[in-house]
Amino acid sequence: MKKAGIKIEDLHLSFGPTEVLKGVNLDIQPGEFFAFLGPSGSGKSTLLRSIAGFGPQPRGRIMIGDRDVVGLDPWRRNVGMVFQSYALWPHMSVRDNVAFGLRERRLPASTIGPKVMEGLELVGLAHLADRMPNQLSGGQQQRVALARTVVTEPTVLLLDEPLSNLDASLRVQMRRELLRLQRKLGLTTIFVTHDQEEANTTSDRMAVLDGGVIQQIGSPQELYDRPANLFVARFLGTAN
Ligand code: ADP
Ligand code: MG
């Protein structure tokens, strides 16, 4: 699968008079598992949506690979996004849900079938292809959402708190599966979470956000050992 890095330069975004991204700079390596960690309202979703191309256009640059995607429509960016609420089509089988994006891309039917099954195998759900979404558990639904995104072969995978609707033990299990899948595909991934444990156990590096500003970027270990300021120390629970 293709990999692309993501480079963000001096990104600003306002809703009306309120600036919610205040000059974000980031350099994510191809194949990296990167987390955005921060409290509610810190701008994580807004930053992720800017990369995906949803919502108002920011000022600044967002390079995916060697293309500046600011101003490009979402479907021309080759990004895949999974949200907190999985929003499968309730009237379509698992198979048709996963096929949906491929049909929209007008792939020939002969390639869609095998791709769908490959996607479902990746998330361990090939045996449930003919179920309807309401016959699945929350965790299974989120796996289908992941399969549906991955089969479109995005160059980057954007995950906005994808596990936060699941109960605690399932969340831990899904976290491991997500990491395994990401390693297997080598997909450049941004994982948004307000849960430091989740960021720690998955990410190669993370950015801690507060108030639309990145407070620190580094590996989980670096941030714990050397928090850059009091906010990071308090948020990670290392201040005493
Ligand atoms: P997070 O995902 O970290 O919880 P968000 O990116 O959702 O934070 O929100 C960042 C800030 O932007 C918040 O203050 C929020 O109220 C504001 N915001 C987000 N979306 C909108 C919107 N569509 N219109 C106005 N304000 C918004
Ligand atoms: Mg959010």
pLDDT for the residue 87: 83
Whose alpha carbon is nearest atom 23 of ligand 1?
A: 15
165 or 93: which leads in pLDDT: 93
42 lines ligand 1 (CB under 6 A): yes
Query: What does the pLDDT read at residue 239?
Result: 64
Give the residue whose CA is nearest to atom 5 of ligand 1: 43
Can you give the pLDDT at residue 83?
84
**Average pLDDT rounded to a whole number, residues 88-109:** 93
Going by pLDDT thresholds of 50, 70 and 90, the confidence category of residue 240 is low
Q: Of the ligands numbered here, which is closest to the C-alpha atom of 209?
A: 1
% pLDDT > 70, the chain? 98
- Over residues 42-67, the pLDDT tens digits come to 999 999 999 999 999 999 999 999 99
Q: Say what the pTM is.
A: 0.94
Tell me how far CA of residue 183 lies from CA of 55, 133, 168, 187, 216, in angstroms. 30, 27, 23, 7, 25
Q: Is the CB of 220 under 6 A from ligand 1?
A: no
Q: Return the best residue to mutate from 46, 194, 213, 215 for the ligand 1 pocket (most ligand atoms within 8 A of CB).
A: 46
- Structure confidence at residue 193 (pLDDT): 95
Task: Supply the pLDDT for residue 113.
Answer: 96
Query: Around ion ligand 2, which residues have CB less than 5 A away?
Result: 45
Both tokens of residue 55? 């919502």
Is the pLDDT at 169 greater than 90, yes or no? no
Q: Is the CB of 20 under 6 A from ligand 1?
A: yes
Average pLDDT, the chain: 94
Q: Which of 91, 67, 49 is nearest to 190 (CA)?
A: 49
Is the pLDDT confidence value at 1 over 70? no
DSSP code string of 170-213: HHHHHHHHHHHHHHHHT-EEEEEES-HHHHHHH-SEEEEEETTE
Is 50 exposed, middle or buried (CB count within 10 Å of its CB: 0-12, 13-18, 19+)?
Answer: buried
pLDDT tier, 75 (very low <50, low <70, confident <90, very high otherwise) = confident
Q: What is the pLDDT of residues 126-165, one digit of tens each?
A: 999 999 999 999 889 999 999 999 999 999 999 999 888 8
Counting every residue, how long is the chain?
A: 240
Q: What is the pLDDT of residues 197-219, one digit of tens each?
A: 999 999 999 999 999 999 999 99
Mean pLDDT confidence for 113-124: 94
At 204 the pLDDT is 97
Residue 126 burial (10 A CB sphere; 0-12, 13-18, 19+) = middle
Ligand 1 close to Cβ of residue 43 (< 6 A): yes
Supply the pLDDT for residue 106: 84
pLDDT of residue 200: 94
The answer on pLDDT for 103 being more than 80 is yes
